[in-house]
Amino acid sequence: MKALSRRWKIVLGILAAGSLIGLSVAWWLIPPGALAFAGGTRVALDAYSGPNPTGVSTELKSADAVTRGRYLAALSGCQICHTEEGSAPFAGGHAFPTPFGTLYSPNITPDRRTGIGDWSDADFLRAMHKGIAKDGSHLYPAFPYDSYALMTDEDALAIKAYLFSLKPVRQTPPRNTLPFPFNQRWLMGIWGAVYTPSDRFRPHADRSPEWNRGAYLVEALAHCNDCHTERNLAEAPNNRRKFGGGIADGWLAYNITQDETSGLGAWSDDEIARYLSGSHVQGRGAAAGPMAGVVDVELNHASQADIRAMVAYLRSIPPAAGDLPAPRPTAAPDSPRAEVAAFDNRGKHVFEGACASCHGWSGASPLTGYATLTGSRAVNDPSATNVASIVLFGTERLTPQGRIAMPAFGKAYSDAEIAAVANYVTARFGARGSHLTAKDVAKLREGS
């Protein structure tokens, strides 16, 4: 009797420990929803007393479905991922390198054979809200249907109307290169069931109409969460550190919470609005890399009222502390003589030959504010990931003053030289110098 009870104790103990581990794994793997931080009462769209936070900007309310769809598609960023550089817009083929293999975006032009020309409204809604294609296969969450699930049927169908107004392009993207088990699409059904909201956007009754509009734009359309929130082991955004910083195509998508030091807490509303509208912002920098496309292809279509609504919403994101230092607000000395902390001289040599003519020795560009380094997050990031990436791959901006670009230096300089110049740049212009090695640069080179 005694032995039995001891055995039971052990069994119970194991069960208790097991369920404790299970619960903590579940806690860790299943973070709260994207809008959970806001708390308060959510109401159905019909029951919300304020103006409808969904749909297009006020100016376009009475426009036809194609025009409304163009606006919504722009803010949802469809074009960026569904376009391969140098190829027709929306015809797919853009590569997404993942830790598990490479995915290619599908063609979403209305071509009946290679695009989505034979999709019904119901097919399109099921893809947008549940991540299931017309043929019943489960889509990979590189397609942000966990965000688009919040979009109203009306808005999703306006996007469909816009896509169906485009010229059909016959183009089949390359096949995905995912090995077993990641090529088992049905597994994505489980992911979708766990991480996709089952309801469309529900306004928060105790928040302002502007906040609700911003929440809809940021969460249901622009899906900022996709890059700016770190992912857990199941590749789901960890909303416990919502907008605390993540990764986009090998670049760092920085902290956009209200943290004063690492995030946007010290930015004014106007600075955030101008950055999102496509400007460079003095002392803050300008979008580059993947964010350049987000700003120039998506957000520059947004009305100023919608930009302000996004800013109002971003202002409510709880601060997530990070390890990024506060950006150094002052320019470096004009003279190349005023030395920065002793760094590999090679970095200075590369800088004087390749960088100084556009960025200046002070970091305040004599050419354009878009090339000014002072205060930008990238040069104030001691990992120097984005500085090395922009040197390797360059960047392009489509500004109101025309196209402006930084060339790619990846083929002109060795990994060691790029590491040296990145370390020089962060030390000269940033709050804290980086210690990048040739190996780190090689990894960034491969990773894209």
Q: Summarize as ranges the residues that interact with other proteins (CB under 8 A).
A: 334-337, 349, 352-354, 356-358, 361, 366-368, 401-405, 407, 412
Count of alpha carbons within 13 angstroms of residue 296, beta-carbon side: 20
Contact at 8 Å (CB) between 67 and 145?
A: no
Report residue 211 as tokens. Answer: 């906040």
CA distance 114 to 103: 17
Residue 2 or 337 having the CB closest to other proteins:
337
Question: Which of 57, 60, 82 lies closest to 293, judged by CA?
Answer: 82
Residue 90 or 351 having the CB closest to other proteins:
351
Which amino acid would we find at residue 216? Y
Q: In sequence order, what are the residues at sequence separation of 6 or more whose Cβ sits closer than 8 angstroms to the Cβ of residue 433?
A: 340, 341, 343, 382, 423, 426, 427
Residue 179 or 402 having the CB closest to other proteins:
402
Count Cβ atoms within 10 A of the Cβ of residue 83 and give its class: 0-12 exposed, 13-18 middle, 19 or more buried. buried
Residue 368 or 414 having the CB closest to other proteins:
368
As measured in angstroms, the least distance from the Cβ of 358 to other proteins is 6
As measured in angstroms, the least distance from the Cβ of 371 to other proteins is 9
As measured in angstroms, the least distance from the Cβ of 447 to other proteins is 24
CA distance 439 to 364: 30
State the Rg of the chain over Cα: 24
Residue 2 or 403 having the CB closest to other proteins:
403
CA distance 218 to 232: 21
Residue 193 or 367 having the CB closest to other proteins:
367
As measured in angstroms, the least distance from the Cβ of 164 to other proteins is 33
| Residue 182 three-state SS | coil
As measured in angstroms, the least distance from the Cβ of 210 to other proteins is 33
The DSSP symbol for 119 reads -
As measured in angstroms, the least distance from the Cβ of 357 to other proteins is 4
As measured in angstroms, the least distance from the Cβ of 402 to other proteins is 2
Residue 225 or 399 having the CB closest to other proteins:
399
Residue 103 or 391 having the CB closest to other proteins:
391
CA distance 85 to 91: 11
As measured in angstroms, the least distance from the Cβ of 351 to other proteins is 9
User: Residue with structure tokens 């506060």?
Assistant: 326
The residues with which 346 forms a beta bridge, in sequence order, are none
Contact at 8 Å (CB) between 210 and 141?
A: no
Question: Which of 218, 217, 220, 245 lies closest to 231, judged by CA?
Answer: 245
Residue 356 or 438 having the CB closest to other proteins:
356
Phi/psi at 406 (nearest 5 deg)? Answer: -105, 130
CA distance 124 to 273: 32
As measured in angstroms, the least distance from the Cβ of 307 to other proteins is 23
CA distance 429 to 425: 6
As measured in angstroms, the least distance from the Cβ of 346 to other proteins is 12
Count Cβ atoms within 10 A of the Cβ of residue 373 and give its class: 0-12 exposed, 13-18 middle, 19 or more buried. buried
As measured in angstroms, the least distance from the Cβ of 352 to other proteins is 4
Q: Is the dihedral of CA 81, 86, 90, 94 positive or negative?
A: negative
Residue 366 or 447 having the CB closest to other proteins:
366
Residue 183 or 357 having the CB closest to other proteins:
357
User: Residue with structure tokens 């071509």?
Assistant: 111
